[in-house]
Each structure stands twice: as C-alpha cells, then as structure tokens.
Amino acid sequence: MKLLRFGPKGQEKPAVLDSEGNIRDLSTVISDISGDQLLPENLQKLANVDVEQLAIVDKDVRLGSCVGSVGKFICIGLNYADHAAEANMAIPEEPIVFTKWSSAICGPNDDIVKPRSSIKMDWEVELGIVIGKPAKYVDETEAENHIAGYCLINDVSERHFQLEISGGQWDKGKGSDTFGPTGPWLATSDEIEDVHNLGMTLSVNGKCYQNGNTKTMIFKPAFLVSYLSQFVTLEPGDIISTGTPPGVGMGQSPEVFLNVGDKITLSIDGLGSQTQQVIADE
C-alpha cells in the first residue's frame, strides 16, 4: 500500500493511492496514518479494504506529511560512503545520530521557510524508515519486522547553524520549521522490492546535484533499527531519516546554498517525488 494524508495543515485526512494513481479517502475507515494504526495487524486490515469503494480525492489537493503525530524524528549523519568522502570526513565506525524537532515536519510540497539568520541553507534527499511495531533491544535479524514502510524525506540543513555557531550543534542546524518535508506517501515494506537498491535524485532550479543510490549506504535500515533500539524504544509512527548520497550544496566547489525563490525537486524510486520553494521567514 501507498498511504497518504491530505488536506489543510493540521486537518489532514488519511488516504491510499490506488493502482491507477488516484488518491482514495480512507477517513471512513481510519482516523489517521499514525501511531498504532501502523501496527502490522492494523496494516493488514487496511490491505483488505476494497479501495475501489472509497471516494476519489482531487489530485491537486495539498498533501501533508505521510505520517501524523510523529513522536520521534531521528536522523543519521554521514551514512553514505560517497557523501562522507565529499565532506572530507572519515567513514563513521558506528551511526552518527541526531534529531529533528517535530515542528520541522511538513508536507512534501510545502514551502521551505528560510530562517532570518540563515546564510548556508542546504538540501539532502533521504530514505525515511517508518516504525510499525515497538522496537526495544531488537536483533538485526528481526528488525525488518518492526518496519511499517519507507518514505521520501528532504533533510533540509543550515550548515552555519550546524557546524559553525557555538562550535557546531547538529540539532540546531537541522530542526528549523519546515526543515523536514516528508512524503508524498508511506510505501509499506511489501511495496519496495529492494530497499538497498533505490535510485535517489535531487535538483535545484532544474540542475541535478544529487544522483545516488541506497546501495552506497553504510549502515542499512535493519541495522539502524536494531542499533537505535538499544538506546531508545522505537514506537509506531517514529521516523528514521537514513542519510544522504553525495551532491549536497556544501560539497560543491564553490559551495552552493539555497536562497529565497529557489525550487527543489527530489525523488526516490518507488517513493514518489517532492517539490518545494524556498520562501523568506516573516
């Protein structure tokens, strides 16, 4: 299944994408795509719904984040060997973990707000893992059973905040409002044939900067779920953003950063695409 959320911000309704690409309203079946609705037994019930009997939603409707009421938004840094190389950083021996605040989450095509003091705003196309079953001290061989599915994320970053202010604080540079466009849909695990071989692209103003593949990921999804579960209980609806391939603005020569008016387009095989425009903060 490909699960979505549509409607005005804060009033999103659940939906599912049918085989012809139509958005079908799920609000008569469930209240939201969030929390316990992502448990395996509840996803199975959804899979048995006759989608053709659901109302079709206008294709031009606003899409919200594909997961609602996210409890934890955990991110992994330098998780692609080729990205670590462009950043002139050593391949980490274990995952680099940081977080985005939940207020960073927004719809896949919502505007990205440039903070007033931002001078080095950057982009990162990333694969997101959505937790479907509580995970605590989970073995890597069992970790996939705790994954509801996957989604597309733009891990928007402000490098000045992240690396330069006060000696560098990753959360500060990653968590600004709108810095986490998520969706358009949550593809359940059965929709993705090989999560370790997905093409990923990102363009700014029509120029392609990132053209990578999840096959160069250092720490794979199952390992990340197992690893994180040793430190914190992962709960249904939690999101793990798994790192980015090379081609970020900071890695260009000379460096390239986002400005007001810039248009970003990104996609991952099987997980759809996003388009955002950068706007100034009020």
Distance, in Å, from the CA atom of 104 to the CA atom of 180, rounded to the nearest integer, reads 5
State residue 221's pLDDT score.
98
Domains parsed from the chain with CATH numbers: 68-280 (3.90.850.10)
Helix (H) or strand (E) holding 43: helix 40-47
Helix (H/G/I), strand (E/B), else coil: 23: strand
- pLDDT tens-digit map of 265-280: 999 999 999 999 999 9
| pLDDT tens-place string over residues 196-236 | 999 999 999 999 999 999 999 999 999 999 999 999 999 99
What is the band of 24 on the pLDDT scale with cuts at 50, 70, 90?
A: very high
What local confidence, expressed as pLDDT, does residue 21 receive?
A: 96
Summary mean pLDDT of the chain = 96
pLDDT value of position 190: 96
Q: What percent of the chain has pLDDT over 70?
A: 100
State residue 226's pLDDT score: 98
Specify the DSSP class assigned to residue 36.
G
pLDDT of residue 53: 96
- Per the DSSP assignment, residues forming a β-bridge with 129 are 150, 240
Whole-model pTM over 0.85: yes
* 150-201 residue pLDDT tens: 999 999 999 999 988 877 788 999 999 999 999 999 999 999 999 999 999 9
